[in-house]
Each structure stands twice: as C-alpha cells, then as structure tokens.
Amino acid sequence: MTQPKKITQRGLWFEEFETDVVYEHRPGRTITEADNVFFTTLTMNTQALHLDAAFSDALPPFNKRLVNSMFTLSTLVGLSVAQLTQGTIVGNLGFSEVAFPKPLFHGDTMYAETVVTEKRESKSRPGEGIVTFAHTARNQHGDVVALAVRKTLVRKAPVQ
C-alpha cells in the first residue's frame, strides 16, 4: 500500500512572492470585548479608552470604547501569517508608516490584505531575501482601519 501524499500548510518562499499582487487573507476576525480587555491588560496599557466603559461612553467623538490599536496592528499582521510567512520567515526587520485612519470597536470584523511592494536577495545572508509588505486592514464596511509597511527576512526555497 502506498503512502498518501502529504501537504503541509506553509507561507511562501522568497522566490514565490510577487510584487504588485494583492494577497487577500481570509477568514476575517471579529473582535470581541474580551479580546480587547485581555490584550490591553496583558500589555499593561491602562488607557481608559480601552478599559473604562463609563469614561469612554461619555467621551466624544466615539462615545464608546476603542479597540487597542496595538491589538489592531497585531491582528492585521497575524491574519497574513498562514498565507505568507508560516514557516518561511526568519524574522521581522521593522515596521514603518503605521496608521489607524478609523477605529475598530467591539463586534467589528477585520479583514486583511497585503501587497508585496519590494523584494531583494539579502546581501549578507545567503539563502534568504528581504520582502517588504504593505498591509491593509478593513472593517466589515470596507473602511480602512489600519495600514502598516513591514520588512521581513524570508527563507529561499530549499534546493531539491
């Protein structure tokens, strides 16, 4: 009896990334009150806009608690992992141009997409390359809630 073929989910090798392609990451992630409170307290962020309903409800312009923007950023990157970097990334090199044009609220669903804006072979690390991602997060209405540019170090495909 022959063994069945096995396919292990992974991200893309350096050679597989294409620039100017939109990688849509699905499914989305609905953000709960528990997510926001847990992340906020876990990271020692005492901002009342995330934790204190009475304070936030009385404060214009939103009059309700906001989802912690660092949770928004983390989830944006996290939504891209399975499709782009699972098992192929060496590490993050840095983030730039991070912005939060609109807030997220409890009950909103975040959807993410990524465009590879640049890629090049590493000059100092053979077998690896630098890939620059432009990540965008949208809520269920299509409003942009987060943008981030991220440079990563990615492995090249193993030589067969």
Q: pTM (2 decimals)?
A: 0.93
**Domain at 14-155: CATH code:** 3.10.129.10
Q: Are 153 and 91 in contact (CB under 8 A)?
A: yes
Q: How far apart are CA 111 and CA 33, in angstroms?
A: 18
Q: What does the pLDDT read at residue 86?
A: 96
pLDDT tens-place string over residues 71-130: 999 999 999 999 999 999 999 999 999 999 999 999 999 999 999 999 999 999 999 999
Contacts of 51 (CB under 8 A, 6+ apart): 37, 40, 41, 65
Q: Which sequence spans correspond to the domains of the chain?
A: 14-155
Q: Strand (E) positions, the chain?
A: 22-30, 89-99, 109-121, 128-138, 144-155
Instruction: Indicate the length of the chain as a whole number.
Output: 160
